[in-house]
Amino acid sequence: MRGLLPSPARASTHPSGRLRVAALLMAGLSAALVAGVATPALAGGGVVGEPQPELTAFKVGATGGNGTGAVLPDGNLVLATPSRSATSITVCVLHPGGRSCASTATLQANRAGGQDTFYGTVEVLATGGSHVAVVALDCCNIGPDGAVIFDSTNGGVSFSALKEAGTIASIGAATYAGGNVVVGSVSQGGLQVQALAPDPVTPQTSYAVPVGGADGDTSLATYHGGVLVASDNVKNTYVEYASSGSGLNTTGSYKRVGTFSNELVTAVSGDALLTDPGGSLTGGERLRIFNGTSFGPPRKVPDSREGDDGYFAMQEVGGVVHVFFLGRRYGYDVFEETTTNGVRWSPLHQFGPAIGSTSLVPVLGPSGAGLLYATAGTPLLAQPVLNALNVHVTLAPRVRAGHPAVLRGTVRPVVPGPQVVTLQTLRAGRWYPVKSTHTKGGGFFFNVAGRTATYRAVANYKPGYFEYGYSRAVTVTAVA
């Protein structure tokens, strides 16, 4: 179980009328935890249980609308969200393990002949190295529903002026494929997809219309250099695929690879598609894996014991699908589970409850670590998502009084470089540090005194990537 927060009183409603994941409530957290102080597990005063202060949510902005985020090659995270007035976008850069913005930038909507506003979702895309593109729909002084891009060459610290990029009618999703910023429409009379230059000189005027009729929700993903586009007409889901090298602004480049009746789009990411049967929040999401030509069978995403779960989000990273959902009968706590094929799933990881936002966005790096970005709320919050460290120890159950014993252990996975491991002892229901050492090849050992005592080993966390790891408690009994 991971750092729980107080239970919320309500859930928020998505502008389209369907409930979505909300932000992580911070009420009741101590200022020390929010500030990210050193873990009390290693403090001299002792601590009960297995604290994970590095997993508590933290504030990254005062308020805002629907935003997204991206992880750069150096591990930095770039988050962006429009202001409540939608006249500007705030960009926050976080360093791995950081609990506040290392830098912020404000991007203004067009002011030519008046004040424009941003509509839909603000999309952030890593476009190679330290290059970042923020793309949004700016309306209406530069023309009807114009896509604009702000380009950064220094990892999101600063950006170019607004650049007119395309003529798509709305923006509900985006991906980066084949050197293009590819955006998809949302809630339109027909699905539009438009590929834009990340540093445009002139606006792109052509676009593809892979699906006619009504377009409800839309999600885009990069697959083998091509683009998967999942959309629904508020009844059925359609998935189109444009292979690498095809003309992304040409309708004929998109081929139908899946039709799923009575299911709505939740997300597509990598080779994974998540849908919502019947549009029900509690109907149990379905996961399918794409093989390049078609999708495999639907796999029901496991719920928590309490059931009645909903408000799902998903991101595929390195062949691992990370699914997040809200436990509506468990205080609206957020849960995470992972799978590679939809058949076998990891145990549920539990975070705090969600409230006050209409969007919860996974922003995960190559290792699967990162955060959940709670946007469109007050305040804007980030929930760290870290990989687990598994610590295993062995110790002979008996030792001759006065003769030392050896506690041996391992930490998995093996983190590059030596890792600090602290030996703790239990006294009167609280854990106290005894001494520390470093791992070698993931292994470690401690010499412990020849007396009756209970111990555990705690592996230090790697900021932004791994949480603290706690072994089971082992007891040694001194005998004459």
Yes or no: say if 386 and 461 are a contact pair by the CB < 8 Å rule: yes
**Which comes out higher in pLDDT, residue 96 or 214?**
96
Residue found under tokens 């600063």: 158
CA distances from 339 to 299, 335, 372 (A): 11, 14, 18
pLDDT score at 449? 92
Span(s) in the chain for CATH 2.60.40.730: 390-479
CATH superfamily of the 390-479 domain: SOR catalytic domain (2.60.40.730)
Mean pLDDT of the chain: 87
Asked whether the predicted pLDDT for residue 339 surpasses 50, the reply is yes
Question: What is the secondary structure of 33-80 as a DSSP string?
Answer: HHHTPPPGGGSTT-BSS---GGGS-EEEES--SS-EEEE-TTS-EEEE
Fold annotation for 57-383 = Methylamine Dehydrogenase; Chain H (2.130.10)
Among 20-34, 73-87, 108-122, the range of highest mean pLDDT: 73-87
More confident residue, 326 or 24: 326
Count other C-beta atoms under 10 Å from residue 162's C-beta: 21
In tens, the pLDDT along 290-335 reads: 999 999 999 999 988 777 777 789 999 999 999 998 777 777 788 8
